[in-house]
Amino acid sequence: MGFFDKLKRAFGGEQQEQASEETEKYDKGLEKSRKTFGDKLNELFANFRTVDEDFFDNLEETLIEADVGFDTAVRISDELKQEVKLKNVKSKAEVSRTIIEKLVNLYEEEGTDEDKELHFDEDAVTVFLFVGVNGVGKTTTIGKLAYRYKQEGRKVLLAAGDTFRAGATEQLVEWGRRVGVTVVRGPEKSDPASVVFDAIRKAKEENYDILLVDTAGRLQNKVNLMNELAKMSRVITRELPAAPQEILLALDATTGQNALTQAKQFKEVTKVTGIVLTKLDGTARGGIVLAIRNELHLPVKLVGLGEKMDDLRDFAPEEFVLGLFKGLLVEDEKTEG
């Protein structure tokens, strides 16, 4: 069953009476995005008279403001034009449903070959390398992930590879203290690759399951950053040939299209395997997930849906789509009676 079929079931009364914990997390975490997206569409339809060129221009602007991305907005608008001609769509309900159906179908199509799973090495130390600019919630993500894996019974080690930013190491050490895991650190301004080497050696000697590595986020100097990440990756692969299993890029959902720009830049300097989208609950820009998939073709693997320790969740595409759109469909049905 496709995403849109599940949406239709959701507003058709076929959903389970008691939502799952995951559904509730996404529903609550996407509340701001859903409301804002709905407000924008309702504003568009408030001035709805006829489906003409002005309507499609306004639709493109509305979708772009909802952070679904320029390319996606233009494509949806163009496809809707064809749909209107073929099916003679006229009512607000029909147009609204068609817009959402196009967004959902496009999202589903672009993710056909997407690998959204986190990969582990069951025979050796698993290494996750975290990249991203300062302030996006990278270190917090590492701390919450360490908590999760420790709760699962895995032995977790952290490496403070961001040796340049004042306070970065201390922040990671504090997270280590909070969740009860060890942090390998070096002197301030020391070589990050040497910290990673020490961490890998410790992980191997003491039979750790997972090593989570923090890195600097100095994107303003791409050459230095690229060299630094390349050196760290060489050290990791030399000591653990199958690692790193993941290079995860942390993006702050509240920054909208700026996050998309950062992702494009990081793709140029390192082989990103997936996205960690932080602070999704604190933004009205949930549409950025659509833009990331449709324009970057990078899988979102983890999302931050709140402040609690267990609010860092594996990304569930169907729950995301339901959380973002289902309210619009319900409202639309009510509107049209």
Cα–Cα distance for residue pair 165/188, rounded to 1 Å: 9
Omega of the bond leading into 317 within 30 degrees of 0 (cis): no
Binding site for GTP, residues?
132-139, 214-218, 278-281
Tell how far CA 206 is from the center of its chain: 33
- Binding-site annotation, residues: 132-139, 214-218, 278-281
